[in-house]
Structure 1
């Protein structure tokens, strides 16, 4: 079933009624209305607390009491902010992470107060209290007015009889003066009133949704982590990915040396030792052993060349991506067309990542795709290096966690790169990688 998303909630699109007709009865609409209703009393408390404590603390700054009062006021704003994030998560499905925690250089009340006052999130939370209060008044008044009028007018045919029975008039009065009065009392007017109520009822959930969208923007912008702190967290995560990748590469190189060239050289040394011992007794046998050892030397040299190429190929350093990718494509098990259109060479680090990205993608094509042909395109788009690898294989490639593509995506993300995989079952598979031109 197709899904559509809003505020974090997923709703199916396979309903018989269109969205406009079922919106007044959906749980999501009532949750959003409940959010607007709660906003007013909570915003009054938050606004009162913030204005009182900040103004009192600012006024007492001439004494030693000002800083503790101001710090307590901002700490209270942080507590209210946590409540607002929880309310947005529960009623709007809006998951906003909390800001960075306070960093205390040393224990103690003075250090805590200094951390609260210096923390930008504390002041953003106070700003939220000042901005959200007038918006909460407006959204509460608008939502309640439209909601009550809509349902009241829609159900007017069910309760209009109360006017002549208990109010002494024929119905809802539209106009009245000393000489003339207009009441909604005949069947036609009652039906029109119900139709107007239906329009209000159907429109109100979308109006409330628009109001809560603004609330969501306020919560994200003022109660979540700042752009700078989010960037710091992202860079710390990317640094961990880079460190883990480097460690994994070192382990791979060590394993390849130990299991490949090193083991072959040890065997070669033993064979040469045996040939030396037999040189006088059986020269012909010793010559055969030396010949075999010569073949082992060639194999070990080839393995070392392959290992060096895996670390950083000389052709990439000397001749750039065009030649290096052409060399990689020539070793692929399917014909690969390579097209490189670059006005100049990118940064060496980005060039190396681009080379290994294409190399791994072509290895995946050789091992898993069952493709007949493939193509590699490389070009520059403004300040980004673009890579595109396409094959006509069976498709089904998945960049989910645990796969080689997931590791490749993490490696690109560490340098602000992006990996997009389009691989429907049956193919074709298209992988697009985007890297910064300069790191």
Structure 2
């Protein structure tokens, strides 16, 4: 007879303690410990007589066994498609479009490859059907199950033998053998373990939907992120049209790719040319505004960056950055003050990337510096239809960037005629329609555009 014992588990990070404590030693959260009942069986064994080691040469690779989801942006983020037997976790704010995206991809996979099971613990079959009618989802191989009992779900998977399964969401599923409420650390961990074992043994691809906290972070124990093969984050504002699908972890591809979608009445529509979307409302030759080129994975994207510098009487001026790393902004401000003698110590500085895109890396350093100078001096950029790319060093030099030729090609397609690049990148650029200006220092770039 298995023995039972009581432990206290932190509902934020999964830290276990034999007694209740007010503050979690693992994550520092207060009042997060909940008493849970666990069972121990001394005679239990995990030995499987059928398990044996295999030579790596004789193991069949699953790299090319991918399902085409029918959504190019989702395929891009996943690294080329959905890998057979993979476990993917997707998170996002409520109402952002997670269920819509998964229902559309489930219909496409069902049409091409076979049976697909959509398990919902939050909606009834009728509610999902209503959304399916709006999205024009009508595949005979797409099955809907409204259930939260893990044992019932596994029985349905055993009977149906689907190629692809969606669990929406993991916080609503529970196992009767675990003595805790749905959504607790123990339930999420055990249910995820059961899903992972089933997916690997039967070659079924799983998509798991997870909730997010008020801070926008993934809810549940951190071990959940380590168990899955891929972690996707769906970003954007419910009041805005555009959504960005970003990869946080991917065992089958890069984590630097993004997918851009537009939400309308018919569901999520792919955006094949994000540069056109982000520059759609751009008014060129405005004070404090400039277009920069960045790389998101293998995709070059042009975005507008805006800066507003205003004098203040406050002792501590404000530094507000949306879409730009605050540390990078402070670094560029320090270089401008030291090398160009432009005072920002008595000014509030606001920086915004139009379209809600977060810029990573150093591609936009030069453009950000020029936008700040344009705003504080109230001068427009003299060169028409110009973009700027380049990294700024602490000594004021403009350092070369990677993939500069791809950014130039994208700018050429978008109708730009002038581009400022690091001088070391200029020799590698081939273009017939654009004027390429190479600069070696920040002062040289300022003299060129103002």
Larger radius of gyration: 1
Fold match by TM threshold 0.5 = no
Please indicate the TM-score interval, normalised by the length of the shorter structure.
under 0.3
Compute the TM-score of the two structures, normalised by the length of structure 1: 0.24
Q: TM-score, normalised by structure 2?
A: 0.24
